[in-house]
Amino acid sequence: MAAIVTDQFRIANANNFVDSVLDANNSYYVFLGLSNPGTSSTPVGFGRSTSWGDTPSNPPSPIDNQQYLSHYRNTALFGKRLNSSNVRRIVRKVSWTSNTRYDMYRHDYSVHNLSPNAQSARLYDCNYYVVNSDFKVYICLYNGSHGDIGGSSNINGNTSQDEPTFTDLEPSAAGTSGDGYIWKYLFTISPSDIIKFDSTEYIVLPTDWSSSTDFQIQSIRDAGDSNVNNNQIKTVYIENGGSGVYTEGSRTYDIKGDGSGAKVNIEVNSSGQITKATVVSGGSGYTFGIVDFGHAANDTISDPAKLIPIIPPSRGHGYDVYTELGADKVLVYSRFDDSTKDFPTDTKFSQVGIIKNPEKYNSTGVNFTGNEYSSLGSIKLTSGFSGSPTVGAAITQATDNGTARGYIASYDSETKVLKYYQDRSLNFGNTIDQTDRNDVTAKASVVSFASTTNTITPISGSVDINFSGITTTIGSKQVSLGVTFSGGVADPEINKNTGDIIYIDNRSLVTRDSRQKEDIKIILEF
């Protein structure tokens, strides 16, 4: 049985993802994780070493199963919430360049009608729109192309000579070269979006196009709504100019179909060939059209013309830019800096992910909704200890419940706060699987670090059991620690066993620094 997943399904999925992020009932976070990754020969998890791949720039591919999803949660460091300002639809960047031939927008590209220049069966793979040097975006409605007219044709169209710069609502030529191009202005990328989202490969689309109250967007959207202004069809393509039965001169004809109101002006030369077709009324409601030349039912047409009315998406060009430009990709942006103790700058990370609806710690069924979170355990150390806490190093503490084990994720020498995580590799000894060994009884269970003066090794430090609260005094200033301590220990802010991980990316190990910020850009293709 022949079947396809359509482009519109992909666009709808991208729209649904954006809507889901913006839904107040959901909480999506970008998170960073894994301060001490494993080797390429040992996939991330279980008995890991402290290196990342045989080649630092070649980390192993993520594994998608329940076992590893749990591991990603356990090694996560901290997360930052997504909102309307950092989740945007994007499309391929096609920059306008002089002397370049662009495909025109057509509704009928297929395996039976490849686009002339891109040779693509899919509109969205064609270069039929451009962004100019001022970040204005235009769609090409006509490129000077035509089929057979008196034995000559120009299937590929002309090369573009004039950069479009206008912001008029109606389509227009861009300059005076006569290159034959007709452009339709869609929108201008805002300066803030350029700073945050611009890249060499993609352009960002305005958010909430259908409901935006921005005057410019409203004007373009309303101008493209044929239900309002009766201007749906903008182009009639001459596939074959015909001959013999068409009277020389200029006349206007109706476009018939399932819509109404469209008219096209036809110019015919002395040989009875149609040489030009100009839409004078776009009409509305069309999904197909055919030019009515008024022939009687019994007329014989020896060399008929073939004129193709080009049907825009939705109700007209500019009405729905997501469909018009094929927005099946979403860019997710997040910035991590040193503005909060939740994001320690002395740590490392080798994974970037997106998690949906993690729950608050010790609050079953209650989603965490803060702007940021720490998923690390924390220990407030006393001032005197001999060791030097090193990110990625293993630590242990004897407790009444057994030996607690963890990996250091951060140590703040000013506040004396050590942050750690506990993943299963600590409980599998030197093995990478469930093979039996002689220390299972002593090591295989997860034990929490406790509010006790028992030494934390190998740093030879101990918990400051007298400290409680969320702030500490450093000199004359109060410093927020980001999490609330009780007896010198603090739990993560989220339940690390909850939340749907919808994206994971293994990266070369990144060392954070107080002088740097990490801009995370994730492209999701649906």
pLDDT at 250: 97
- What backbone phi and psi angles, to 5 degrees, belong to 20? -65, -40
Stretch 303-320: mean pLDDT, rounded?
95
Whether residue 105 is predicted with pLDDT greater than 90 in this model: the reply is yes
- Domain boundary among the residues 257, 276, 310 is at 310
129 near 119, Cβ under 8 Å?
A: no
> Could you tell me what percent of the chain has a pLDDT over 90?
74
Three-state secondary structure string covering 122-173: CHHHCCCEEECCCCEEEEEEEECCEEEECCEEECCCCCECCCCCCCCCCCEC
Per-residue pLDDT band for 2 (boundaries 50, 70, 90) equals: confident
Which secondary structure element, helix H or strand E, spans residue 30, and what is its range? Answer: strand 28-33
Stretch 210-218: mean pLDDT, rounded?
92
Q: What is the pLDDT of residues 445-487, one digit of tens each?
A: 899 999 999 999 999 999 999 999 999 998 889 989 999 999 9
Classify residue 205: in a domain, yes or no. Answer: no
Do residues 394 and 478 share a domain?
Answer: yes
Classify residue 214: in a domain, yes or no. Answer: no
In angstroms, the CA 364 to CA 494 distance is 10
Classify residue 221: in a domain, yes or no. Answer: no
Classify residue 151: in a domain, yes or no. Answer: no
- Residue 164, preceding peptide bond in cis (omega within 30° of 0): no
- What backbone phi and psi angles, to 5 degrees, belong to 314? 55, -130
The answer for residues whose C-beta is within 8 angstroms of residue 157's C-beta and 6 or more apart is: 101, 102, 103, 104, 116, 117, 143, 144, 145, 180
Total number of domains constituting the chain: 3
In angstroms, the CA 411 to CA 464 distance is 15
Do residues 364 and 459 share a domain?
Answer: no
Q: What is the pLDDT of residues 240-258, one digit of tens each?
A: 999 888 999 999 999 999 9
In angstroms, the CA 481 to CA 348 distance is 19
Identify the weakest region by mean pLDDT among 96-100, 240-244, 440-444.
440-444
Beta-strand pair 249-257/289-292: antiparallel
pLDDT at 194: 92
pLDDT at 9: 96
Do residues 513 and 479 share a domain?
Answer: no
pLDDT at 199: 87
Do residues 483 and 386 share a domain?
Answer: yes
Cα 496 to the center of its chain, rounded Å: 25
CA torsion sign, 403 to 406 to 411 to 416? negative
Whether residue 379 is predicted with pLDDT greater than 80 in this model: the reply is yes
CA distances from 484 to 117, 341, 386, 417 (A): 62, 12, 26, 12
Long-range contact set of residues 150-157: C-beta below 8 Å, sequence gap at least 24? 150/241, 150/243, 150/269, 150/271, 150/273, 155/116, 156/101, 156/116, 156/117, 157/101, 157/102, 157/103, 157/104, 157/116, 157/117
Do residues 477 and 461 share a domain?
Answer: yes
Classify residue 264: in a domain, yes or no. Answer: yes
490 near 429, Cβ under 8 Å?
A: no
Task: Tell me the pLDDT of the chain averaged across its residues.
Answer: 92
83-121 b/e (C-beta count within 10 Å ≥ 16 → b)? eeebbbbbbeebebeeeebbbbbbeebeeeeebbbbebe
Do residues 483 and 396 share a domain?
Answer: yes
Whether residue 429 is predicted with pLDDT greater than 90 in this model: the reply is no
**Three-class secondary structure of residue 308 per DSSP:** strand
Which secondary structure element, helix H or strand E, spans residue 359, and what is its range? Answer: strand 359-360
DSSP-assigned letters across all residues of 262-293: EEEEEEE-TTS-EEEEEEEEEEES-SSEEEE-
Do residues 444 and 486 share a domain?
Answer: yes
Classify residue 352: in a domain, yes or no. Answer: yes
Do residues 504 and 359 share a domain?
Answer: yes
The answer for residues whose C-beta is within 8 angstroms of residue 244's C-beta and 6 or more apart is: 272, 302, 303
Stretch 496-505: mean pLDDT, rounded?
96
CA torsion sign, 515 to 482 to 420 to 469? positive
Classify residue 24: in a domain, yes or no. Answer: yes
Per-residue pLDDT band for 52 (boundaries 50, 70, 90) equals: low
Classify residue 447: in a domain, yes or no. Answer: yes
In angstroms, the CA 155 to CA 176 distance is 22
Whether residue 152 is predicted with pLDDT greater than 80 in this model: the reply is yes
pLDDT at 408: 94
221 near 322, Cβ under 8 Å?
A: no
Do residues 425 and 351 share a domain?
Answer: no
Write out the two tokens for 193: 């979006």
Write down how long the chain is.
526
Per-residue pLDDT band for 427 (boundaries 50, 70, 90) equals: confident
Q: What is the pLDDT of residues 12-51, one digit of tens each?
A: 999 999 999 999 999 999 999 998 886 555 555 555 655 6
CA distances from 243 to 149, 296, 377 (A): 9, 17, 82
pLDDT at 49: 56
422 near 489, Cβ under 8 Å?
A: no
Do residues 425 and 482 share a domain?
Answer: yes
Stretch 170-188: mean pLDDT, rounded?
97
**Three-class secondary structure of residue 342 per DSSP:** coil
- Quote the domain boundaries for residue 399: 377-491
Stretch 109-117: mean pLDDT, rounded?
96
109 near 313, Cβ under 8 Å?
A: no
Do residues 288 and 263 share a domain?
Answer: yes
Whether residue 218 is predicted with pLDDT greater than 70 in this model: the reply is yes
Do residues 32 and 65 share a domain?
Answer: yes
CATH number, position 66: 2.60.340.10
CA distances from 339 to 473, 479, 514 (A): 18, 12, 10
Whether residue 299 is predicted with pLDDT greater than 80 in this model: the reply is no
Stretch 505-526: mean pLDDT, rounded?
91
Per-residue pLDDT band for 235 (boundaries 50, 70, 90) equals: very high
Identify the weakest region by mean pLDDT among 233-247, 382-396, 478-492, 501-515.
382-396
